[in-house]
Structure 1
Amino acid sequence: MAGDRTMTWQSIRDTIMLRIRDRTYPPGELIPNEADIAAEFGCARATVNRALRDLAEEGFLDRRRKAGTRVIEAPQRKATLDIPQIRREVEARGQAYGYRLLARETGSAPAELRARLKLPEAEATLYLESLHLADGAPHMFERRWVVLRTVPAIAAADLAAVNPNEWLVREAPYTHGGMEFHAEPAGAAAAALGCAATDPVLVMERQTWLHEAPITYAREHFAQSYRLCLGL
């Protein structure tokens, strides 16, 4: 990643967060200064400053003038829902992100999903299938339903150019939601992930709401090489 002028402060933040989690930057230890980090990533110090400031605000770093930036030994955190952005996750691992829109259609959602989101039978949803890549290899296969009544603008969005995960995070504010994780056979996702239908994969189910209005439900199947890292 050194010398990559396209690095954003979010990418740098996510990379540093991974280094904190894997103990490259151990608890209580100083991390490199802004100038050294900027030189590593080939970016401006202001970009690094913004990344470190965000991690400090989240309770992972202690920043003091003339004393440097230190990893907090026991960060005090509260449980929150943070919508994962797949591109950032892939790029934070030093891999090239890719994306393909595989299917797009408008219609009524399946009965099970209508019950979950409390939708009437005639409710129009946008159904999407997407494949996210890391260094050209399958990373995650996603099936998603978006409630058009709540997010009408997505009907005109170019989702072949920007993935629905990023579009919704940017354009559709939410008030609450939930995530569930479990393992199951790859099933219909196997062809996209390049594995057998009977192979177990990690599945994440996520739904978000704007007050009482449902926004989206996503079902994400991750490649078998995927490792889930959660911050506490």
Structure 2
Amino acid sequence: MARRIAERVWAPGALIPGEEVLAVEFGCARATVNRALQELARGGVLVRKRKAGTRVALHPMREARFVIPIVRQEIENKGGAYQFRLVSNVVEKAPACVTKRLGITKAKDMLHVRCLHLSDEKPYQYEDRWINLDAVPAIRHETFETVSPNEWLVTHSPFSQAEIVFHAGLADPDEADMLDLGVNDPVFVIERLTYLPQKPITFVRMIHPGSHRMVTKL
């Protein structure tokens, strides 16, 4: 259906066939067609109105979606052999700089996890993460012996909002030690905050060597 819209088989403003007709044509359940139409409508490609049918948008919006990656899969998809090392895993008072980023008004106990992701035995990403235990209480006793906090949260903790910042930086002593760099060597930094309604989940700094390249396909 997206291809038909892109190729102007279904022109802007055109009324498209109904769900029953499309289900017969594509040989699938009507519910499957409905989900596909909802997805296209969320992307701004279609306009759906009750009793008026579904039309191709006159001015389709292009929407880019950012999927939080699982670092293990990211490395393996590049052909690397993945390894993970847990550096620390403690419950402690979050510093003011963290509570401020999370919008929390006072210091509180949070799970602080630091770990290193490696590709072909070389440092790939140093992860420094704070997790709000009020939002994810089940993670308190996770040992992270077999799964990284990144992968645990992606698979166990849904979120409704996220804020992501990309920037260049200089390695501090801890980051330099983890990534086998010199202090003040350039690094590529990703900072990410995720939220449930009115409740922050996690704030994480992910530090890569300065040679890191991030590729996004739309």
TM-score by length of 1: 0.65
In the alignment, structure 1 residue 94 sits paired with structure 2 residue 94: no
In the alignment, structure 1 residue 212 sits paired with structure 2 residue 198: yes
In the alignment, structure 1 residue 135 sits paired with structure 2 residue 82: no
Asked if the contact 1:81/1:177 (under 8 Å) is kept, the reply is no
Asked if the contact 2:116/2:127 (under 8 Å) is kept, the reply is yes
* Partner in structure 2 of residue 109 of structure 1: 94
In the alignment, structure 1 residue 156 sits paired with structure 2 residue 156: no
* Partner in structure 2 of residue 83 of structure 1: 68
Q: Give the superposed CA RMSD.
A: 1.8
Asked if the contact 2:115/2:127 (under 8 Å) is kept, the reply is yes
Cα–Cα, structure 1 residues 122 and 98, in superposed 2: closer, same or farther, change >3 Å? same
Question: What 5-or-longer segments of structure 1 have no aligned partner?
Answer: 1-56, 60-75
- The percentage of counterpart residues that share the same residue type is 39
What are the Cα deviations for residues 175-229 of structure 1, in whole angstroms up to 9, with x where unaligned?
A: 0111100011111300010010111010000010011110000001002332111
C-alpha distance in 1 between matches for 2:212 and 2:82 = 14
1:174 Cα shift?
0.3
C-alpha distance in 2 between matches for 1:231 and 1:208 = 22
Equivalent position amino acid for 1:191 in 2:
D
* Partner in structure 1 of residue 7 of structure 2: none
C-alpha distance in 2 between matches for 1:214 and 1:141 = 22
What are the Cα deviations for residues 35-93 of structure 1, in whole angstroms up to 9, with x where unaligned?
A: xxxxxxxxxxxxxxxxxxxxxx999xxxxxxxxxxxxxxxx851223112111110011
* Partner in structure 1 of residue 165 of structure 2: 180
* Partner in structure 1 of residue 188 of structure 2: 202
Say which SS state the counterpart of residue 116 (structure 1) adopts: helix
Moved over 4 A (4+): none
Asked if the contact 1:107/1:125 (under 8 Å) is kept, the reply is yes
C-alpha distance in 2 between matches for 1:117 and 1:198 = 27
C-alpha distance in 2 between matches for 1:92 and 1:218 = 23
C-alpha distance in 1 between matches for 2:183 and 2:107 = 32
Asked if the contact 1:204/1:220 (under 8 Å) is kept, the reply is yes
Question: What 5-or-longer segments of structure 2 have no aligned partner?
Answer: 1-38, 44-60
Count of equivalent residues? 160
1:107 Cα shift?
1.4
Task: Point out the structure with max Rg over C-alpha.
Answer: 2
